[in-house]
Amino acid sequence: MGKQEKIVSMFNDISGKYDIANRVISMGIDKSWRNKACKLAFDFYNQKTVEKIVDVACGTGDMITFWQKVAKENNIQLQNIIGVDPSVGMMDVAKKKLPEVEFIEAGAASMPLENSSADIISISYGIRNVVQRQEAFHEFARVLKQNGLVVISEFTKNEKNSPIDYLTDFYINKILPTLGGIITKNKEAYTYLPNSIDEFLTTTNLCKELKEAGLEPIYTKAFSMNISTLIIARKI
C-alpha cells in the first residue's frame, strides 16, 4: 500500500467520528476559520452569481455547508457545488448530511472535471494529505476559470519565533493526538496529523508552489496563534 492509499484508508476508519473530533480539538474555532475563508473568497471574487465551487478533500462535507451558508447570508447565488474526495467512508457521511450535493470519488491530482469549469476550488485541512501536491496545483489551475480562486486552509509549519509558537507546538504534538485518539479510538490517525504538519511546508514555500502552477497568491493570513493559515490564490 502506497503512502496515499494509507492516508485514504486511515480517513475511512475515522469517518464516523471525524466531525465531532474536529470540533473538540479545535475547540469549535475551526467554524470561524471556515466562515472567514468563504467570506473573503466571495469578497475577492466579487460576483453575485457563482456557477460552480469544487471542494477538494471534502471529507464529511463540512466546508460545503459553510459555502452554502455564507453564500446565502451574502445574497450570492451559488448554482452548483461539488465535493471531491478519495475516501468513500468520509463521503458516505457527507452524502447523508447533504443529499442534494454531487460527490465524486477522486484524488486532488486527477479530477474528472472539465477545463476552466470552476469559479472557486477549496481545500480545507487536506492539502498536506495530498502526496502529489504539485500535480494537484496544476490540476486546480486546469479546472479553474480565468481569474478563478483557490482557497486553502491548512495547518502550516511555523517558524518558532515566540512563546506562543511553542505553546501551539505543544498543543498540536501532545494534546491533540490524545484527544483525537480518545474520540475516534484511532490514535494513529491523530499522531499522523502533527507529523504531517511537521513534514509539511511553510506558507512561503506553499505560495511558491502555487505560483509555479500559475496560481498567484493574493491573500495569506495565520489565525488563532498561527494554528491555521488561509491562502487565497488567483488563476492568472
Read off the pTM: 0.80
For residue 3, the number of C-alpha atoms closer than 13 Å in the C-beta half-sphere is: 8
Q: Is 210 within 8 Å of 36 (Cβ atoms)?
A: no
Q: Cβ-count burial of 161 within 10 angstroms (0-12 exposed, 13-18 middle, 19+ buried)?
A: exposed
DSSP single-letter state for residue 17: G
SS3 content of the chain, % helix, strand, coil (to 5): 50, 25, 25
User: From first to last of its 236 residues, what are the pLDDT tens digits of the chain?
Assistant: 677 877 667 666 655 666 666 656 556 677 888 999 999 999 999 999 999 999 999 999 999 999 999 999 999 999 999 999 998 888 999 999 999 999 999 999 999 999 999 999 999 988 888 889 999 999 999 999 999 999 999 876 655 566 666 666 666 666 666 666 666 677 666 665 545 555 556 888 899 999 999 999 999 998 866 778 999 999 99
The confidence score (pLDDT) of residue 48 equals: 96
Give the C-alpha separation, 95 to 227, whole Å: 29
Is 191 part of any known ligand binding site? no
Each domain of the chain, given as residue ranges in start order, spans 27-158+201-235
Closest by CA to 151, choosing from 60, 70, 48, 49, is 70
**What type of residue is 18?**
Y
Is 85 part of any known ligand binding site? yes
Estimate to the nearest angstrom the gap between the alpha carbon of 135 and the chain centroid.
16
Is 60 part of any known ligand binding site? yes
Phi, psi torsion values for 183, nearest 5 degrees: -70, -45
The confidence score (pLDDT) of residue 2 equals: 76
* DSSP three-state, residue 155: coil
Q: Looking at the structure, give the CATH architecture of the domain made up of residues 27-158+201-235.
A: 3-Layer(aba) Sandwich (3.40)
Q: Residue 122: how many CB atoms within 10 A of its CB?
A: 28
Q: Is 149 within 8 Å of 82 (Cβ atoms)?
A: no
DSSP single-letter state for residue 158: P
Query: Which residues lie closer than 8 Å to 36 by C-beta, 6 or more apart?
Result: 223, 230
